[in-house]
Amino acid sequence: MDQPCPMTPAQRCEKIVKALARYRAKVPECYDEPLHDVIERVARTGSIGKVDIGALYFWKRIQLGRWNEPLLKAPEATVRGITATAVEAARNRSLSVPEAAAAAKVALSPLPGMKTGGALPSALILAAAPHRMAVYDKRARKGLADVCLPLSDGPARYRRYMELIEQCRVEMAEHGAGIYTAREVDLALYWLGG
């Protein structure tokens, strides 16, 4: 039987703050230039096109999958129609962040490569709502376990991930660490899980 993790919320916050500082000390800001370019285009257009998906795919360093060719064969208008719905869902302020994340992930599911896995869909969702959302990946998941917030497999994993990210954000504010974005928390977790 697993032992409960002895980490307090204050200790978790301290670990996240230190991990984010280490990440920033090692990774140049220019690394995220492709992401920022996509964020700017999504802000203008309200949707995400195939070129944007390709840029996010490159930025996340995701392995080539069987979904690439079917996505390339999909008409741009279809891709933009689906992603516009996801962008709207991610930005919906009447929903909590985890609810909006889940709605955006469901909206993306008709696109090839977006139904399963979390890294690429979450990158698109981040591009849609960069001040609310975070990127999911295996390293961030390992980072969550490292701060005693394990994430189980199964349906709605991205929603549960965002619930844990929001928990960290609330704890950090409550323990005087300051106001952190979901993206800053995911970067710290990514660094911890490396």
Token reading at 52: 């944007």
To the nearest whole number, what is the mean pLDDT of the chain? 93
Write the DSSP symbol of residue 24. H
Residue-wise pLDDT for 33-61, tens only, equals 999 999 999 999 999 999 999 999 999 88
Q: Quote the pLDDT of residue 5.
A: 76
Q: Which two tokens stand for residue 85?
A: 């719905």
Number of H helices, E strands in the chain: 10, 0
Residue 21 has pLDDT above 90, yes or no: yes
* Whether the predicted pLDDT of 2 surpasses 60: no
Between 94 and 64, the more confident residue is 94
Residue 128, pLDDT > 80, answer yes
Give the separation between CA 109 and CA 150, rounded to whole angstroms: 25
Q: State the pLDDT at residue 83.
A: 98
User: Does residue 20 surpass a pLDDT of 60?
Assistant: yes
What is the C-alpha separation between 74 and 90, in angstroms, rounded? Answer: 23
Q: What would the mean pLDDT of 115-138 be, rounded to a whole number?
A: 92
Are the C-beta atoms of 79 and 49 separated by less than 8 Å?
A: yes
For 4-18, the pLDDT digits (tens) are 678 899 999 999 999
Least confident window among 14-23, 75-84, 116-125 = 116-125
Query: Please, which pLDDT band fits residue 1 given cuts at 50, 70 and 90?
Result: very low
